[in-house]
Amino acid sequence: QQQVKQSPQSLIVQKGGISIINCAYENTAFDYFPWYQQFPGKGPALLIAIRPDVSEKKEGRFTISFNKSAKQFSLHIMDSQPGDSATYFCAASSGDKIIFGKGTRLHILP
Amino acid sequence: KAGVTQTPRYLIKTRGQQVTLSCSPISGHRSVSWYQQTPGQGLQFLFEYFSETQRNKGNFPGRFSGRQFSNSRSEMNVSTLELGDSALYLCASSFYSVNTEAFFGQGTRLTVV
């Protein structure tokens, strides 16, 4: 009930393409769903987050799509750039705890 | 605005020893949470402190403990270190809780030998 399943583990996308990372959760008490980006040697940085009262949130090239009934949410990176190459983590929080996905290593080919 | 500062950045300890890690949050942030990051288990929530009180706790043994001071700075302590405690320990600060925008430090890389 406490897991957040993230896929794929790794992803290779051509420059200019769309990168899509998916996450699924089980606990319906989760009410905050952030995505973090982590570069080697750095701590995770918040990219974008969504709450379950909206189905989509867009910030620049980054979009979260949220499907409450399916208990799934995804990150779309439009016009992917080599600088987007990093590890991405989804997470789900219920206020008293936060559970992270295992991460997706994204590599954008120049 | 200064970010989250963690010290030290790197630490090597021997099995059985104890270690204390420090985290200075962003000014004005009252919530500090701690995480363990390993290649096998990923990012795992240890605990969260708010106004000097532990508010939430993850599924870690009692060897892992922490505290928060009146200036919101936090320390994490691990006693009787085991080889499996080798990890990157991250802290994050937020204005109110883990349910709001959190800012991570660069972490402390702990190696237990």
Question: To which residue do tokens 């403990």 refer?
Answer: B65
pLDDT tens, residue by residue, A50-84: 999 999 999 999 999 999 999 999 999 999 999 99
The answer to whether residue A1 scores a pLDDT higher than 80 is: no
pLDDT tens, residue by residue, A8-48: 999 999 999 999 999 999 999 999 999 999 999 999 999 99
Contact status, residue B77 vs residue B98, Cβ threshold 8 Å: no
Structure tokens at B30: 């009252």
The C-alpha atoms of residue B82 and residue B27 are separated, in whole angstroms, by 34
- Which residues touch B92 (CB under 8 Å, ≥6 apart)? A43, B4, B32, B33, B35, B98, B102, B103, B104, B105
Pairing of strands A10-14, A104-109: parallel
Q: Which of A31, A49, A97 sits opposite B56 (nearest CB)?
A: A97
> Residue B98: its pLDDT value, please?
79
Among B89, B86, B84, B41, which residue's Cα sits nearest to residue B65?
Answer: B89
Q: Which of B42, B103, B106 sits opposite A100 (nearest CB)?
A: B42
Contact status, residue B108 vs residue A41, Cβ threshold 8 Å: no
**A38 has which bridge partners?**
A87
The answer to whether residue A92 scores a pLDDT higher than 90 is: yes
User: Would the CB atoms of A101 and B42 count as touching at under 8 Å?
Assistant: yes
Question: To which residue do tokens 């430090």 refer?
Answer: B105
Query: At B83, is the secondary structure helix, strand, or coil?
Result: helix
- Using an 8 Å CB-CB cutoff, list residues of chain B that contact chain A: 4, 33, 42-45, 55-56, 58, 90, 92, 97-107
Give the pLDDT band (50/70/90) at residue B85. very high
pLDDT tens, residue by residue, B10-59: 999 999 999 999 999 999 999 999 999 999 899 999 999 999 999 999 99
From chain A, the residues in CB contact with B92 under 8 A are: 43
From chain B, the residues in CB contact with A40 under 8 A are: none
Structure tokens at B100: 């709001």
From chain B, the residues in CB contact with A23 under 8 A are: none
Among A30, A37, A24, which residue's Cα sits nearest to residue A88?
Answer: A37
The answer to whether residue A2 scores a pLDDT higher than 80 is: no
Give the pLDDT band (50/70/90) at residue B73. very high
A·B CB contacts under 8 A: 53
The answer to whether residue B99 scores a pLDDT higher than 90 is: no
Q: What does the DSSP 8-state code read for residue A109? A: E
pLDDT tens, residue by residue, A99-110: 999 999 999 999
